[in-house]
Amino acid sequence: MSVLVVGSLALDTIETPFGSVEETLGGSAVYISTAASYFFSPVRIVGVVGGDFPKGGMALLEEKNVDLEGLEIIPEGKTFRWSGRYHYDLNERDTLSTELNVFETFDPKVPEKYRKSRIVCLGNIDPVLQRRVLDQVDNPRIVICDTMNYWIERKNSDLLDTLKQINILILNDSEARLLSREPNLIKAAKVIRAMGPGAVIIKKGEHGALLLTENMVFSAPAYPMENIFDPTGAGDSFAGGLVGWLARTDDMSEENLKRSVIYGSTLASFCVEEFGVDGLKDLTYLQIQDRFRSFRELSRFDED
């Protein structure tokens, strides 16, 4: 197996009801590759940063054995920046600013050695860039894509073009409603599946996630958490856990897809326990397995 991840590498400024951080390490590619690295390595990354990208960020990716050959560094450029504020209901987030910076002129180049990657994970970036990456990969076995309201609203027709080439789309409930123009999530998934992806995963924050294919609806519980400090990156950690598990097992059956959704939820639950990427930095495989098992207990019951 081989995994290619494309996405943002960012400096995030985050406010939650519990505190705030400025210009901390973030970005979809950082969360996805860090989460996936607990299952599979090396994860290959395609992205861009400016000369101001912190050494600590590079060190974390190196420590997780992420392959950085596809990471472009523009010494005179500024790294992508994003800033957001969460409400008391942590499912509600206002984006305060998005500065694309080096992403504005980014033309992704997939290194020769990455072109035969079997799993491609398109993190949340401009759908035009997502497609340019896909154009440079030879016949991947599975393409997983994440997106967000920013692109659904601003680059709708480009996103629709990208979706034609996707096997699994991951998005949250409000994004699913926005993309499909359908309030009911089961109907929304049908509408989205007709756009291309054979499987749709709809994340519902603290209420778990739904996996919908032609033949099944699987409802994954959310881990009941008392301490959620910062939901930033939960969605990307989810994608990373899911992709990492699929790469580790090389099994794309529906049963294994269900397991991958629970591994995704497991990594997301660790992510939100601390600010930024801190919750993902120092996990062990044993800790991940323990939490995975407790997910199973959450919704297991006897018939009589």
- In the complex, the residues that contact ligand AMP under the rule CB under 6 A are 8, 10, 12, 26-28, 82, 98, 124-125, 148, 150, 232-236
| Beta pairing, strands 142-146 & 209-212 | unpaired
Beta bridge partner(s), residue 228: none
Q: Which residues fall within 8 angstroms of residue 37, CB to CB, at 6 or more apart?
A: 43, 64, 65, 66, 244
Closer to ligand AMP by CB, 141 or 173: give it: 173
Q: Are 149 and 123 in contact (CB under 8 A)?
A: no
Q: What is the largest CA-CA distance in the chain?
A: 67
Closer to ligand AMP by CB, 12 or 67: give it: 12
How many angstroms separate the CA atoms of 132 and 304, rounded?
54
| Minimum CB distance to ligand AMP, residue 26 (Å) | 3
Closer to ligand AMP by CB, 235 or 279: give it: 235
Closer to ligand AMP by CB, 125 or 228: give it: 125
| Minimum CB distance to ligand AMP, residue 301 (Å) | 31
Closer to ligand AMP by CB, 150 or 218: give it: 150
Closer to ligand AMP by CB, 233 or 279: give it: 233
| Minimum CB distance to ligand AMP, residue 109 (Å) | 18
Closer to ligand AMP by CB, 10 or 212: give it: 10
User: Which pairs from 186-192 meet CB under 8 Å and 24+ separation?
Assistant: 186/212, 186/217, 192/163
| Minimum CB distance to ligand AMP, residue 253 (Å) | 27
| Minimum CB distance to ligand AMP, residue 252 (Å) | 24
| Beta pairing, strands 80-86 & 93-99 | antiparallel
Q: Which residues fall within 8 angstroms of residue 86, CB to CB, at 6 or more apart?
A: 14, 15, 16, 17, 92, 93, 230, 231
Residue with tokens 């970005």: 27
| Minimum CB distance to ligand AMP, residue 62 (Å) | 19
Distances in Å between the Cα of 272 and the Cα atoms of 102, 229, 267, 275 are 27, 6, 9, 7
Asked if the bond preceding 75 is cis, omega within 30° of 0, the reply is no
| Minimum CB distance to ligand AMP, residue 300 (Å) | 28
Closer to ligand AMP by CB, 49 or 143: give it: 49
With vertex at residue 42, the alpha carbon angle to CA 274 and CA 197, rounded to the nearest 5 degrees, is: 80
Q: Are 44 and 69 in contact (CB under 8 A)?
A: yes
| Minimum CB distance to ligand AMP, residue 15 (Å) | 13
3-class secondary structure, 300? coil
